[in-house]
Amino acid sequence: MKKTILITGCSSGIGYCTAHGLQARGYRVFATARRQESVEMLLAEGLESFQLDLNDSSSIRRAVEETLNRSNGQLYALFNNGGYGLPGATEDLSREALRAQFETNFFGWLELTNLILPVMRAQGYGRIVQNSSILGFAAMPFRGAYNASKFAIEGWSDTLRLELRGSGIFVSLIEPGPISTKFRANAMKAFERDIDIENSIHREKYTVVRDRLNKLGPTVPFTLPPGAVLEKVVQALESNPPKARYYVTFPTHMFGFLKRILPVSILDRLLAQAGHKHQ
Ligand SMILES: NC(=O)c1ccc[n+]([C@@H]2O[C@H](COP(=O)([O-])OP(=O)(O)OC[C@H]3O[C@@H](n4cnc5c(N)ncnc54)[C@H](OP(=O)(O)O)[C@@H]3O)[C@@H](O)[C@H]2O)c1
């Protein structure tokens, strides 16, 4: 029998690439997307697809029901992936803006995972793969909302891994560095929607942020295509046991290492430089 996997956020980027890549590898993929037009696109490309909006509890519940109806009540893996980045200084974050960031990047993932876990517990096996980020363990200026949401994913995943010890269910974090996707274009939309740019003390720096977000093509050295993430997802699904963390890209390996060995004062200098250079 084919291994089954439910993936969120398959309209573009990492989710899209992983859905196609795993289907080509022989998995039965439930490639979900927030918007109906994305579902139509994925169906036309030969994927199984239906709607799942992480901001909407009833959409999450419907998608889980649909998945289990199609897969005889079983599911091998869940790839939590759908999300976005809200750029901007933390002092410009309203409660609503941060709430929206967490609704998608954290609460939606948690709710979906908690609906899937009883299924995995009953079958005695399963894989939860979490698409975190280099920004899930290394903070950079002007990325506070996203940093906070990914740090939350890391804390939750580390806890869940401990709680699932001996259950046959494994939790792995994927830590991508810069990957060429629609992430920046979508971050630009969030920035303009949720940050009061003109009235900010940072408005001049925000012109640099805008320029970076509007640039086509990689703005950061060592950017990789989404296929680099797919490779690590495959390892998280097929290794026995899988690792707790899979780094992707050179900057992730570098900052992962530096975070373990450097004093905070030196690490801060490097992270501030990296963050401001790529504001
Ligand atoms: N690109 C990078 O450099 C990078 C690095 C580290 C981690 N990541 C993580 O990788 C994941 C995928 O991002 P990406 O780089 O592939 O960017 P992307 O091309 O912008 O894809 C993001 C996906 O998430 C979906 N999404 C957004 N809000 C959603 C919601 N409420 N419910 C369900 N899906 C939703 C988007 O759907 P719509 O098209 O409908 O908006 C899209 O399919 C994210 O969790 C991101 O944090 C990316």
Percent of the chain with pLDDT over 70: 99
Residue 276's pLDDT is 79
Residue 220's pLDDT is 86
- Other Cβ atoms closer than 10 A to 77: 25
Q: Which atom of ligand 1 is nearest to the CA of 59?
A: 32
Asked if pLDDT for residue 278 goes beyond 70, the answer is no
Separation between Cα atoms, residue 123 and residue 38, nearest integer Å: 31
Residue 119's pLDDT is 98
**Chain mean pLDDT for the chain:** 97
How many angstroms does the Cα of residue 180 sit away from the middle of ligand 1? 11
Number of folded domains that form the chain: 1
Question: What does the block give as tokens for 205?
Answer: 């720096």
Q: Is the peptide bond prior to 241 cis by the omega test (within 30 degrees of 0)?
A: yes
Residue count of the chain: 279
The answer to whether the CB of 84 is under 6 A from ligand 1 is yes
What are 193-233's pLDDT values in tens digits?
999 999 999 999 999 999 989 988 888 889 999 999 999 99
- Residue 102 structural domain: 4-277
- Does pTM surpass 0.85? yes
The answer to whether the CB of 175 is under 6 A from ligand 1 is no
Residue 279's pLDDT is 56
Given a contact cutoff of 8 angstroms between Cβ atoms, the answer to whether 116 and 66 are in contact is no
What are 52-96's pLDDT values in tens digits?
999 999 999 999 999 999 999 999 999 999 999 999 999 999 999
> CATH number, domain at 17?
3.40.50.720
Who contacts 154 (Cβ-Cβ below 8 Å, separation ≥6)?
132, 136, 137, 173
What are 135-193's pLDDT values in tens digits?
999 999 999 999 999 999 999 999 999 999 999 999 999 999 999 999 999 999 999 99
How many angstroms does the Cα of residue 83 sit away from the middle of ligand 1? 4
Q: Which protein residue's CA is at the shortest distance from atom 7 of ligand 1?
A: 133
The answer to whether the CB of 18 is under 6 A from ligand 1 is no
The answer to whether the CB of 176 is under 6 A from ligand 1 is yes
Active-site annotation, residues: 146
Given a contact cutoff of 8 angstroms between Cβ atoms, the answer to whether 145 and 190 are in contact is no
How many angstroms does the Cα of residue 167 sit away from the middle of ligand 1? 30
Who contacts 147 (Cβ-Cβ below 8 Å, separation ≥6)?
135, 136, 139, 140
